[in-house]
Amino acid sequence: MIQNFLDFLMEFGALGLFIHSFIDAVIFPIPALFLQIPLSLVNPSNALWLATVGFIGCLLGTPVGYWIGRSLGSAVLYKILKKSWVESATKLFQRNGETAILLGSFTPIPFKVFTILSGTLKFPLWRLIAYAAIGRAVKFYVVGLLFYLYGRSAEGMMKNVSLYIFAIAVPLVLVFLWVRKRIRRKRQLVQDNKTETL
């Protein structure tokens, strides 16, 4: 059933990937990567364009997933996804929402878990979109760049695509955490100085 739907979307090329990426952020259980790779394989010169289309579709779907979570709560997640995925994402989110979204963009856990969970936990929508933009850009463009540079031979690299994505993702997350820590420390110093002045 799902494979038939993927085959149907594939016939529409970039538009099919846009639709897949959009619903990937909302409710569909199969990541858009499963359509991006075969479409990039057909015409590697279009791989960066496909990455852009997928990226935009995902970002537009993100607020929809968010409002589903805001309106219906986390119960909807348990109905459409594995319990282990939901529980892993919830634990990660409760520790640090921003990091959870960034890491969630790279992990095998479907991204809709994080969009819906953000709404359920009333995480600020603008932050969800900002962090999703960083994470999803890496995921879509790593695949797009590999096909654009190496053509059809990049298909063999797809077995290790998670490794490539993670190699880029981990430094990004670490830099993000370091910058955020510095900003918070500066704010705290300013706050302490104001308190002492009073």
Span 49-92, pLDDT tens digits: 999 999 999 999 999 989 988 888 767 767 766 777 677 767 76
Q: Tell me which DSSP letter residue 69 carries.
A: H
Neighbours of 158 (CB within 10 A): 17
DSSP letters of 110-136? -THHHHHHHHHTT--HHHHHHHHHHHH
Output the CA torsion 155→85→125→53 (10° steps): 20
DSSP letters of 71-118? HH-THHHHHHS-HHHHHHHHHHHHH-HHHHHHHHTTSSS-THHHHHHH
**How does pLDDT run across 17-34, given as a tens digit for each residue?**
999 999 988 878 788 888
